[in-house]
Structure 1
Amino acid sequence: MLAAALALAAAAVFGTATALQHRSASAVAEGSGGSGRLLARLLRSPGWVVGLCLSGVAFALHVAALHEGSLTLVQPIVVTTTVFAVFVRSALDRTLPDRAEVVWAVCTWAGLTLFVLTAGTRRPGFVTDDRLAALFLVVAVVAAAVAIVVAGQLHVPARRGFFLGVAAGILYGSTAGLVKLATSYGRGGVVPLLHHWSAWLVAPVGLTAFFLSQRAFQASRLSVSVPVLNIVDVLVAVGFGSVVFREHLFRSPGQLLVELVGATMIVVGVWQLVKEGERLHESHLREVPAGSPPAPR
C-alpha cells in the first residue's frame, strides 16, 4: 500500500500546486499582454512560484509511487488531483465548497476507495521485453499525432479541445509508462538508469503533453477537455502496464466489476467537479459589476 499512499500524496501536492497557480493566473486581467508578458507577471507572483515548486515535489512523489507500485494502481489515484484542487482553492479563498462539489468529491473518493481496495494487493510487474515498450510508445506517439492533426482540421472549439485532450492524455499516459520503465531499470543504480533510452524521453514527452493540455484548455471548456484527458491518460497507462509489465487487470469477473464501478465513479466525480467549478465561475462573473476587476475564483 506504500505505492497507493505515495500516489495519493502526489495527487494532493499536485492539487495544491494547481490551486495556487490557478488562483494567481486568474488574478491577472485577461488581455493584459502576450504569453511572454503573462509568464513574467506570474513569475513575480509568490503563489504561482510556490505552485511551480510544489509541482516538482509532486512529480517526485509520482515517480516514487510508480517505482513502488503498478501503473494500474498508481495512475487512477493521481488523476484525483482535481478533488484536492477544489478544496484547496476554497481554503485559499476562505469560502466553503459548494454542496455539489462536496457530493461529487465524495463520489470520487468512494470510487477511489473501491478501486484501491480491489487493486491494492497487486504487485508491480517487471518488464518482459524492451521492444514491446518501444513499439507501444511508437504507436502511442502516432495516435497522438493523428489526434493533433484532426484537431487542427476542426473549427468547432469543443471538438478541437476534445481531440487535443485525447492527444495530451495519450502522452501523459505514455509519460507514466516511461517513468515506470526507467525506474525499473533504475533499481540497479543510476548508471543503468541513465543508459536506458526511456529515461531520456520522460522530459520531452511529458512537456509535450503539458503543452497540448494547455492548448486543449484554451480551445474549449474544461468540462470537455479535462475528463477525456484523464480517461485517456489512465487507459494508456493501464495498457502500458498490461502489455509491457504483464500487470493483470483482474483475477475474477467480480474483481473486474468492482474495479469498473470504482473507475467509473472516479471519472464521473472528476468530470462533475470540473463542470461545477465552471458553473460557479460563470455565476461569479455574472455577479461582478461591469468594469470591476475580476476577483480570483
Structure 2
Amino acid sequence: MNAWGIAVTLSIAAATFHASAAVFQERIAGAHSASPARRLGTLRLLRRARWWWAVVLTGIASSLHIVALHFGPLTVVQPLGALTLVLALTLSAALAGRRVVRAEWLGVALTMAGLGLLLHLTTAEGPRIALSSSEVRALTVVAVGIMAGLVVAAMGAKRLVTRSLVHAAAAGVAFGVASAMARTVTVRMSDHGWTEAIAPASAIMVGLAFGGLLLAQAAYRAGVGAPLATLTIVNPIVAATIGLQLLGERFVAGAGGAVLAGLAAVVAASGVMLLARNRFIVAPRVPDKMLIAS
C-alpha cells in the first residue's frame, strides 16, 4: 500500500472513532440536560468521568489523524472527516433501534460520491512543506481571534440552536488549524527528528485540539446533527485552504481539477446537510445504566 492509501485508511479509522465520540458526547449532554454541568458550562464536564471516555475516543481518533497527515496532505486527509457524519448515522440508528430512512441514504450517497471524486482529484505527490515559524504564529493569532469572536457571538445569541452552530463553527476552525499544525509537526519530525515533537507548533496543536473539543461539546447541547455537520464542513475548508495556500498542496489537472474539486466538495456538503436536516443523531435521553458510570 502506498502513502496515499495509508493516509486514506487511517483517515477512515479516525472518522470512525470521531463518530463514536460525537454520539457519546451528545448522549452525555442529553442525559444531563437538567444537571448543573449542563446549566453552568462545559468546563464543569471536566469533573465527570463519563465525559473523559469521549475524550479517550477523540484522542485515539486524533492520533490516527496525525499519523494520516504524515502520509498524506491536508487536501486528502481533511475531506475524509465528512465520513464522521456518515458513520454516525449507522451508530445512532443502531443505538436508537430504528431503520435508516431513504433521505438519509441519499445523504450518504451524495457524501460518498463527492468524497470519491475529491479523492480522485487529489495527489499525494508534491513537496512536503512545513509552516514557517512566522506562519505558525500568524495562523495561531488569526485562529484564536476568529474563535474568540465566534464565542462572543455565541454568547450574544438568544437561540440555543444558533449558539450551537456558532460554537461548532469555532470548533471547526480550531480543528482545521490544529490539523495544519499537525502536518507541520510530522513534516519537521521527518526532516529533523523527534525533537520537533516539543516545538511550539506541537503545543499549539494540542491546545487548539482541546479547545475544539470543548467547543464541540458546547455545540452538542442542541443535538449533534446540525452542529456536527457545520463542524464537518468548516474543518476541511480551513485546513484545505491552508494546505493549498501555504503548504504547496494541489489538485491534479491544474485549474480544471480545482474546479471539479470544488464541485465535488459542494456535492459532499449537500449530502452532509441532508443528513443533518434529518436530525438523525439527536439521541433520546437514556438511562444512566446505559452510560459508563461516573
TM above 0.5, one fold? yes
| 1:7 equivalent in structure 2 | 11
Instruction: Say if 2:115 is the partner of 1:112.
Output: yes
One-letter code aligned to 1:6: L
Letter paired with 1:243: Q
> C-alpha offsets along residues 16-58 of structure 1, whole Å, 9 cap, x if unaligned?
34345545664x3642553558964736xxxx83x55433222
Match of 1:288 in 2: none
Check the 8 A contact 1:140/1:174 in 2, yes or no: yes
* Residues 130 and 185, structure 2, Cα contact 8 Å, conserved in 1: no
CA offsets 1:175-207 (integer angstroms, 9 cap, x no match): 11111111111213222322x210111222111
Q: 1:191, 1:41 → 2: CA distance?
A: 33
Contact 1:151-1:159 within 8 A present in 2 as well: yes
What is the CA–CA distance in structure 2 between the aligned matches of 1:124 and 1:185, rounded to whole Å? 13
Are the counterparts in 1 of residues 130 and 183 from structure 2 also a CA contact under 8 Å? no
1:160 Cα shift? 3.1
**Alignment partner for residue 151 of structure 1, among 151, 154, 176?**
154
Is 1:83 aligned with 2:86?
Answer: yes
**Mapped contact 1:23–1:89 kept (Cα < 8 A):** no
- Identity %, equivalent residues: 25
Aligned to 1:74: 77
Contact preservation (8 Å) 1:161, 1:217: yes
Write the mapping of 1:162-177 to structure 2, written as runs, cut at 5 A. Answer: 162-177=165-180
| Correspondent of 2:204 among 201, 205, 219 | 201
Q: 1:173·1:236 contact (CA, 8 Å) conserved in 2?
A: yes
Question: TM-score with structure 1 length normalisation?
Answer: 0.80
Q: Which residue of 2 aligns with 1:244?
A: 246
Structure 2 CA distance for aligned equivalents of residues 40 and 210 of structure 1: 15
Q: TM-score, normalised by structure 2?
A: 0.81
Tell me the CA shift for residue 94 of structure 1: 4.7
Shift of 1:119: 0.8
State the alpha-carbon separation in 1 of the partners of residues 140 and 77 from structure 2.
19
Distance 1:22 1:124, change over 3 A: farther
Larger RCO, structures 1/2 (Cα 8 Å, 6+ apart)? 2
In structure 2, give the amino acid aligned to 1:272. L
Distance change (3 Å), C-alpha of 1:19 and 1:167 = closer
Mapping 1:132-281, distance limit 5 Å = 132-187=135-190, 188-194=192-198, 196-218=199-221, 220=222, 222=224, 224-249=226-251, 251-278=253-280
Determine the structure 2 residue equivalent to 1:131: 134
Gap regions ≥5 residues in structure 1: 286-291
Counterparts of 2:46 and 2:210 in 1: how far apart (Å)? 19
Q: Is the 8 A contact 2:85 2:232 kept in 1?
A: no
How many Å separate the matches in 2 of 1:128 and 1:30? 42
Go from structure 1 to structure 2 and tell me whether the alpha carbon gap of 1:6 and 1:170 turns closer, same or farther (over 3 Å shift).
same
Contact 1:104 1:273 (8 Å CA) reproduced:
yes
Provide the C-alpha distance between the structure 2 equivalents of 1:204 and 1:128, rounded to a whole number of angstroms. 17
Partner amino acid, structure 1, of 2:274? Q
* Higher gyration radius (CA): 1
Over the aligned positions, Cα root-mean-square deviation in angstroms equals 3.1
**Structure 1 CA distance, aligned partners of 2:87 and 2:166?**
26
5+ residue gaps, structure 2: 39-43
Cα offset, 1:275, TM superposition: 2.0
Aligned residues: 280
**Aligned equivalents of 1:163, 1:212: Cα separation in 2:** 9
Tell me the CA shift for residue 113 of structure 1: 0.6
Q: Is the 8 A contact 2:169 2:230 kept in 1?
A: yes
Instruction: Give the distance between the partners of 1:160 and 1:19, measured in 2 at CA.
Output: 19
- 1:42 corresponding residue in structure 2: 50
Alpha-carbon distance in structure 2 between the residues aligned to 1:79 and 1:105: 10
Distance 1:210 1:124 in 2: 31
Q: Residue 244 of structure 1: CA displacement?
A: 2.8
